[in-house]
Amino acid sequence: MSPLVTCTFCGRDNEPMSRFCIDCGKPMSASSARVIPAYSAGSSAAAVGRASEASDTPVPGAAVGSGGLAPPTRVSPMAATNSCPKCAQPVNASMPFCGFCGTKVTNEVSTGSCWTCGAAYTQGVDLFCARCGTRVGQRVSVEVNNAFGTLVLGAKSRAATGPRLALLNEAGEVTSTFSLDRGEAVVGRGDADIKFDDVYLSPMHARFDLRDGEMWVRDLGSRNGTWTFIEAPTKLADCDLVLVGSQILRFRRLGYPGPHPPEADSTRRMGSLVPSADVAVLEQLRADASVRDTFHLSPARTVLLGRDSGDWVFPYDQTMSGRHAEVRSQDAEFFVADAGSRNGVAVGVRGERQIFKGQRILVGDQVLRVEALGL
């Protein structure tokens, strides 16, 4: 049997010859992406935007990185019980898309497994697991906080015991709470479980998963990335992105310089008085990813970033604190740390990253906080 192919957007296992993911509908290859219909008169801007997003393959941000492997599949993609109404190919009755042509398949009744105890339930029919009482009828329950109390959207769930995310406003107050009733959710501007009307969000932006009592976030190849705010000094790897105020900085390794060759006539060269070795650099990125300015890093030196004081100053950035962040050198590694800033320091997610209770995550222009990881 040929090995399964993993979708780089959502982590679903697909049949080797699948052109589209059976779970999220994204193209599995560049050739599949080209069959997206071109723009024609009367097409909505939203439809064109979705087609453009779908055609960007492969997605580097969704590839397996330092965070680990893609999440395990829940349903075997080989279980074909229905036929696609468009291409007549066999399709999995429990999956929303055809793997051959990408058509959304109507599934009025399908089964799933409770993310708490593993018991089977009927999707679209059962609201709660018959064995343990966990809500399984939908992936996310929403509670909106307002001046008149708390409004629960959708059928009211039982006592919240699963993972929960909170949406924070500019003052850091909770405006909405999202309960991940099946331990997973996709955030985005399009057909997502947690949807925001945010122009900085991609249609399918990021995915949250609870596995073995741990919460993980994966960027789904979004245009603006997914960011986790750091709580402690965090080691930087080559090409890591750091958000300081409104500045996106890229960390790059340069390596240690080699010995200078001797001069032919023994005459020394003049040059600027600089540290003995610049082994890394911070690059200030524009919106088009081009580099505007750089700052070199050397061993045994701590660099302070801020709006008013420091080694690298950004007086035009009103979202940056006077003393905002530090980049510290320790042995041969570099670490970024918050210097007591008001808005915090965030690191871009590459692959997937574990997140913890109380940690904040930036997706688009939305700040989410992990409220609970479940029992």
pLDDT digits (tens, 9 = 90+) for 77-93: 445 567 777 777 888 77
Specify whether 173 is located in the same domain as 249.
no
Rounded CA gap, 217 and 346, in Å?
Answer: 14
Specify whether 75 is located in the same domain as 145.
no
Specify whether 164 is located in the same domain as 77.
no
Q: Domain tally for the chain?
A: 3
Domain that holds residue 190: 138-220+354-373
pLDDT category, 136, cuts 50, 70, 90? low
- CATH code: domain of residue 206: 2.60.200.20
Q: Residue 97: its pLDDT value, please?
A: 78
Rounded CA gap, 39 and 268, in Å?
Answer: 64
User: Is residue 68 scored above 60 in pLDDT?
Assistant: no
User: Is residue 181 scored above 60 in pLDDT?
Assistant: yes
Query: Residue 73: CB partners within 8 Å, gap ≥ 6?
Result: 4, 11, 12, 13
Specify whether 330 is located in the same domain as 293.
yes
User: Is residue 275 scored above 70 in pLDDT?
Assistant: no
pTM (2 d.p.): 0.61
- CATH code: domain of residue 322: 2.60.200
Q: Residue 13: its pLDDT value, please?
A: 81
pLDDT category, 4, cuts 50, 70, 90? confident
Q: Per the domain annotation, does 85 fall within a domain? A: yes
User: Is residue 2 scored above 80 in pLDDT?
Assistant: no
- pLDDT tens-digit map of 294-320: 999 998 899 999 999 999 999 999 999
Q: Residue 346: its pLDDT value, please?
A: 98
User: Is residue 154 scored above 70 in pLDDT?
Assistant: no
Specify whether 75 is located in the same domain as 51.
yes
Ordered DSSP codes for 173-214: -EEEEEEETTSEEEEESSS-SEE---TTS-SS-EEEEEETTE
Specify whether 216 is located in the same domain as 362.
yes
Q: Per the domain annotation, does 24 fall within a domain? A: yes
Q: Per the domain annotation, does 188 fall within a domain? A: yes
Specify whether 40 is located in the same domain as 143.
no
Specify whether 294 is located in the same domain as 343.
yes
Query: Of 107, 124, 157, which residue constitutes the final position of a domain?
Result: 107
Specify whether 100 is located in the same domain as 198.
no
